[in-house]
Structure 1
Amino acid sequence: MHFKYNFHFNFMKHSKKFMLFSIIVTLLGVVFLFTEGLNRGVDFKAGTTLDINVGASVDKAKAEELITAAGLSHGVITPGGERVSIRFDKVLSEAEVAKVKDGFIAAYGKDVSLEENTVDTSLAQELARKAIYAVLIASVFISVYVWIRFEWRFAVSSIVSLLHDAFFTISIFSIFHLEVNLTFVAAILTIVGYSINDTIVIFDRIRENMRFAKVKNYDDLSHLVDASVSQTLTRSINTVLTVFVGALLLFILGGESIRNFSLAMMIGLLCGAYSSIFIASPLWALMKKGSLNKPGKAAVAKP
């Protein structure tokens, strides 16, 4: 089903307010990143994660009791029905893993199964470094494509928008101390893809309208951007809603291992739609303003 939204808003008039909001959140994120850092999962720091299926309902208190009985500090325990995930900040030896498994078998029976995931220090550092490289390389190639396909102002605006979306999501995870792992990196890369998709749709409409409009001053340019965003608003909202509902269902019904991935996707999708309208488009208009010399009014087809 396709929904049509007859919604008109003076986007350019209020763009400075939204830019200020983004700057505040970004600065807040920088403060938290430097003071608190990210809550790195076992993928990005040395440690061991044990996923244990006990075949019966298990609560956090019982899991803590069994871990303590095995002579270990219980670390971070995440129960989920018949499964429990336990993350240790150190690499466990085979003997320590065996003690944990034996304790759960004694409490819940022989049907207990255990999956171990261990990352040493060097591998954790390499994964973190490659995750950063992946996001940066993706952003660079996307900006080069936009530069070739459109013009340099569009490329600069799109890369600022992409970095804004990625850092905004990272800031939220830092502020609320949510765990960051490899699925989070996958979410960031997916967010980058959806964000540039929204941005290019608006930029393509702006370029088409520029072909027929007589833009002579900044007011004309603002009117053109507002018209272009309004003309693509229905498509942008429908696209975001479709993917957002899928991510929301994954967050509610999915397992614990993909919950933060789903949450990052939801935040990033909303942020991507927001930045395409209130960051990328106004930023392009500000850069384009310098090339306008003549006064006058532009004729832009209304949606």
Structure 2
Amino acid sequence: MRFETNIRYDFIKNRGKFFYTSLALTIIGILSLIFFQLNLGVDFKAGTNMDVSTETAVTKAEVDGILNDTGFSHAQATIGGDNNRITIRFDNVLEQSDTKKVEDALTAKFGEVSTEVHVVSPEMAQELGIKTIWAILIASLGIMLYVMIRFEWRFALAANISILYDSFFVIAMFSIFRLEVDLPFIAAVLTTLGYSINDKIVIFDRVRENMRFSSIKNESQLAELVNASIWQTMARNLYTVLTVVLITLCIFFLGSPSIKLFSLALLIGLVSGAYSTVAIAGPLWFVFKRKQKVKPKAAKTTAP
């Protein structure tokens, strides 16, 4: 059995390299989460966030000086827009008098300002964290059920392991590099799940189609089938991912600072999804499938 496909690289033969590399990255991510945890934003821990718009350009040094003078030296300030938008994050819930104190100091320095204050209580932060975990679990379970219904349990298991790896990889990268985790980050993780499963279904659909018109007699033929299916869909998957990656890069470099981390998380997830599709999902299905016992065909009986 030969497929009319140029197999440029044998993903099945080299599956061990990908499995061990992915396992090593997963272990590093787990260790990072244990020792460093996540740099949670104000959405997931109690605190206060102030968004201030000014009529004149400001510098971070000027804002930090005002925070020091008002007794909030531990607050974190970032400058966005055309240097006229200030975001200040406080790690504790401020009273209205405290926010008014900061606002008055900014007004005295930069003139008239427009201020929006967002407060997250400890109860709200805990509730958001729990709902986020449930959202990811329900999305993963729904995807697994869909793949099981459309294909079979081996496809579903391989797909779910792969997309969970993609989600965890994004989380691990944010933990390792101490990037802030907020609600847009969760939206990026869930978006990653959608794009990732789309790539895997494309390959699995081609595997199923090739299985339908092939007679698999041994493990080497099964490996050739999976490799051929990967390369037959490689161009389509690459074009899809590259299109979204280009848009994401434009958002990251040209978009508002408030969505930079969202676009970065989505970018990491897209790259991981493209990798796991060809290096984890397909080879994993091969590992599960090759262990399946082929039932012998019933002997034909001839009429006397």
Which category describes the TM-score, using the shorter chain as reference length?
over 0.9
Structure 1 counterpart of 2:20: 20
> Which letter maps to 2:277?
S
Kept in 2, the 8 Å contact 1:216–1:292? The answer is no
Aligned to 2:290: 289
Report what 1:297 is aligned to: none
Amino acid across the alignment from 1:240: V
Q: Distance in 2 between matches of 1:292 and 1:208?
A: 21
Preserved contact between residue 217 and residue 293 of structure 1 (Cα < 8 Å): no
Q: Give the counterpart letter for 1:9 in structure 2.
A: Y
Identity %: 49
AA at the equivalent of 1:272: G
- 5 Å-filtered alignment, 1:254-293, equals 254-291=255-292
Amino acid at match of 2:106: F
Which amino acid in 2 is paired with 1:57? A
Counterpart CA distance in 1 for 2:60 and 2:15 is 47
Q: 1:44 — aligned with what?
A: 44
Please give the secondary structure, in 1, of the residue aligned with 2:14. Answer: helix
CA contact (8 A) 2:7 2:227 kept: no
Within 5 Å, give how 1:165-184 maps onto structure 2: 165-184=166-185
Which residue pairs with 2:208 in the alignment? 207
After superposition, the Cα gap between the structure-2 partners of 1:82 and 1:222, relative to the gap in structure 1 and judged at 3 Å, is same
Q: Does the 8 Å CA contact 1:217/1:292 hold for their aligned counterparts?
A: no
User: Aligned pair 1:161/2:172, yes or no?
Assistant: no
Aligned to 1:123: 124
CA distance in 2, matches of 1:221, 1:56: 67
Distance 2:7 2:270 in 1: 20
For residues 22-62 of structure 1, give each alpha carbon's deviation from its aligned partner in whole angstroms, at most 9, with x where no partner exists: 11111001001011100000000000011111122222111
Q: Give the drift of 1:292.
A: 5.3
Q: Alignment partner of 1:63: what SS?
A: helix
> Does the alignment pair 1:104 with 2:86?
no
Q: CA deviation at 1:122?
A: 0.4
Contact in 2 for aligned 1:55/1:83 (Cα 8 Å): no
What is the TM-score of this pair, normalised by structure 1?
A: 0.92
Is the 8 Å Cα contact of residues 203 and 233 (structure 2) preserved in structure 1?
yes
Deviation at 1:7, TM superposition (A): 7.5
Aligned-residue RMSD, C-alpha: 1.3
CA-to-aligned-CA distance 1:147-185 (integer Å, 9 cap, x gap): 010000001001101110000110000000100011000
Cα displacement string for residues 64-85 of structure 1 (whole angstroms, at most 9, x for unaligned residues): 1111222223422211221121
Number of aligned residue pairs: give it: 288
1:181-196 aligned within 5 A: 181-196=182-197
Correspondence for 1:3: none
Q: 1:72 to 1:101 in 2, by over 3 A?
A: same
CA contact (8 A) 2:7 2:228 kept: no
The one-letter code matched in structure 2 to 1:44 is F
Q: Summarize deviations over 1:234-261 as a string: whole Å, max 9, x none.
A: 1100100111111111111111211110
Residue number in structure 1 paired with 2:95:
93
In structure 2, relative to structure 1, the CA distance for the partners of 1:96 and 1:7 (3 Å cut) is farther
TM-score (normalizing by structure 2): 0.92
Unaligned runs of 5+ in 1: 1-5, 295-303
Name the CA distance, whole Å, in 1 between partners of 2:285 and 2:85.
Answer: 50
For residues 84-104 of structure 1, give each alpha carbon's deviation from its aligned partner in whole angstroms, at most 9, with x where no partner exists: 211110011111111111111
Q: Which one-letter code corresponds to 1:32 in the other structure?
A: S
Structure 1 residues 72 and 287: alpha-carbon distance in aligned structure 2, compared to 1, 3 A threshold: same
Which structure has the larger Rg over C-alpha atoms? 2
Unaligned runs of 5+ in 2: 1-5, 296-304
Q: How does 1:67-86 map to 2 (within 5 A)?
A: 67-80=67-80, 81-86=83-88
CA distance in 2, matches of 1:175, 1:286: 31
CA–CA separation in structure 2 for the residues paired with 1:203 and 1:235: 14
Aligned residue number for residue 298 of structure 2: none
Kept in 2: contact 1:76–1:86 (CA 8 A): yes
Counterpart residue number, 2:299? none
The residue number in structure 1 matching 2:300 is none
User: In the aligned structure 1, how far is the partner of 2:105 from the partner of 2:19?
Assistant: 55
